Structure 1
Amino acid sequence: MLIVTNHEGGVGIGETAKALRDGRPALDAAEAGVRLVEVDPAIRSVGYNSWPNILGQVELDAAVMDGTTLRTGAVGGLVGYRNPVSVARAVMERLPHEILVGAGAARFAAEIAAERLDNLTPAAHATWQRVLNESLDERQRAAFPDIPLSELCQRATDPEYQKDTTVFLAIDGQGGMASAVSTSGWAWKYPGRLGDSPIIGAGSYADAAYGACACTHTGEMTIRAGTSRAVVLYLKMGLSLEDALFEAGRDLRRLKGGLIRGVALHAIDAQGNHRVASFGEAKGVDYWIWEHGMAAPERRVAMHLDV
């Protein structure tokens, strides 16, 4: 049994470990951990109390993947619900689709009686209002929101607010493997922006025969490189976990133009090994690990890919 999660997942790894010890499947365990992160107000990049988009709306993205069946479910741009990861799982289990976005995702969440929640807190709203006022002149303030937003969303790349997803990778006692991820995306993003989290193969991928990977930080990069799927394919080709991450880093290094920042890659293989690596501007990344036989989860520092 094994769990790997990023820094933000620390609030949920204990529940995930308990679920595995109790004999629950990997996907159940990973989902349980993500659900706790989604409702923790101290985490500003996932779920409740997250930073909003440039219009002041908290849009949430999430995805799950069952590594045994290769089934997936994802939602993007979901507004007004408590646990998007569970809505993503319901997409997988109840629909003939893999992903729902925006109004369609919200309609489906209502149909399954998902718990509603206004994820924009007064504190987050106040910060959004301050940043907005600092960014607009008097004419723009009077016309807002009926103004061009493309220049305003450049705030989305501000390192002060460019934060993280949460990712959980799990292997259960029967060898089942799963991934679950959730995020609010970047603060002040253009409405409707999707990062890599709801894009299976970019933000996460799990195949119990080989391994799993999930990424954080600059989703625009991992979408272009298909990073999570690439790591699993490199494992399928016979590379070691560390070499698979190295090759994925080389793929990222080949990107030219667009937004190039940093990526953190979290990976496990079918033998129960794990590696976490940072790339580019993502440095000093830490993560959480728990495996069978450990008394408690441990916080560790990722290696950095120099490629």
Structure 2
Amino acid sequence: MFSRRKFIKTTALSASLLAIDKKSVAGLLPPALNAAVKPIVISTWDFGIAANQAAWKTLISGGKALDAVEQGVRVPEADPKNQSVGYGGLPDRDGHVTLDACIMDEAGNCGSVAGLEHIMHPISVARMVMEKTPHVMLVGDGALQFALENGFKKEKLLTKESEKAWKEWLKTAKYAPVMNIENKLYDKSAPQKLPGNQYNHDTIGMLAIDSHGNISGACTTSGMAYKLHGRVGDSPIIGAGLYVDNEVGGATSTGVGEEVIRNVGSFLVVELMRQGYSPEDACKEAVMRIIRKKPETAKNIQVGFLALNKKGEYGAYAIQKGFSYAVCTEQKTDLLIPGKSYY
């Protein structure tokens, strides 16, 4: 029988629970209900600032993280001054601008395109692959056919500047990687052209949490400049260039994609966060695995990882100095943060 004394005790207990500071119980709530989780978007490199601004417009209005990351990375995809992503990207050794991209949502749905030509926004084609087909990845002519059949416009992506750099490179056809040249290329205060005998390798990877606590990510690139025709890096490969697990967080990568693929880098970072690693420590461990496996190779390449966990905590780590990432929250707008590095 439920006595008056039991009723008084129950009422007192309920009142004491209600009096507890919300901050002290925030960690006990399901992640989607945790009041500490705010909309946030992070992305690689300094050109991520403009991309974040576009993504933030979606997030601040209560939109989905998936929509935010797509809209965000479309900004560098359409920028002719950015020679490592999308329109204006440096071509392969045969003069073809081939684009790679992937996208992943909070439910684990994902889509990807690789070796796509003539389409300015591969990220939107990747999303359409995710939403309109039973497949994850379409490549080359098949990806182009799918894009055209779904209303995308065929365009010339090789700009005069990139064509000129490619023709200069053809004089020697020599590879000479330059670390973190992406930042130098995109420095609007002091724009620099890419010398013809150098190549770059990069992408924009973006991760976002929306107001519902859901995570999505996107990754898009024109790939390694002057690559062999048909070469595909890590950027469009789920688990390598991008991975999202809504229970844990998400990760993306930048740099020489071959080494990221060999280590399934972004998946590794997320799994390390599942084990309790902070985003930065998880990125560091993924970098250290590359260094331990190929110490001599690692001295001459750049690979970096960027991660975001379910709590909204973020971090990055790279092999070489110079890697940076952009952050946008209600408290931190257009903030560029240098990532830590091994060398």
**TM-score, with normalisation over the residues of structure 2?**
0.79
2:49 touches 2:335 (CA, 8 Å); kept in 1? no
In 1, the alpha carbon distance for the partners of 2:122 and 2:273 equals 30
* Aligned equivalent of 1:278: 318
* Aligned equivalent of 1:155: 175
Identity of aligned residues (%): 37
Question: Aligned-residue CA RMSD in angstroms?
Answer: 1.7
In 1, the alpha carbon distance for the partners of 2:233 and 2:249 equals 22
User: Between Structure 1 and Structure 2, whose CA radius of gyration is higher?
Assistant: 2
Letter in 1 for 2:257: G
Number of aligned residue pairs: 284
1:51 touches 1:128 (CA, 8 Å); kept in 2? yes
* Aligned equivalent of 2:135: 97
* Aligned equivalent of 2:268: 230
* Aligned equivalent of 1:266: 306
Output aligned runs, 1:1-307, within 5 Å.
1-7=39-45, 8-66=47-105, 68-132=106-170, 134-135=171-172, 152=173, 155=175, 157=177, 160-256=198-294, 260=298, 261-279=301-319, 282-294=320-332, 296-305=333-342
Unaligned runs of 5+ in 1: 136-151
**TM-score, with normalisation over the residues of structure 1?**
0.88
Per-residue deviation, 1:258: 9.6
In 1, the alpha carbon distance for the partners of 2:141 and 2:177 equals 26
Q: Give CA-to-partner distance per residue, 1:149-206, whole Å, 9 cap, x none.
A: xxx5x62746532132011110000011011011000111000000000111111101
Q: Give CA-to-partner distance per residue, 1:222-253, whole Å, 9 cap, x none.
A: 00001100010111122222332232122212
CA 1:99–1:158: 2 relative to 1, 3 Å:
same
Unaligned runs of 5+ in 2: 1-38, 180-197
Q: Give CA-to-partner distance per residue, 1:30-73, whole Å, 9 cap, x none.
A: 1101001101111100011110000000000000011x211110
Per-residue deviation, 1:259: 5.6
1:204 touches 1:214 (CA, 8 Å); kept in 2? yes
Which structure carries more strand by proportion?
1
Per-residue deviation, 1:78: 0.2
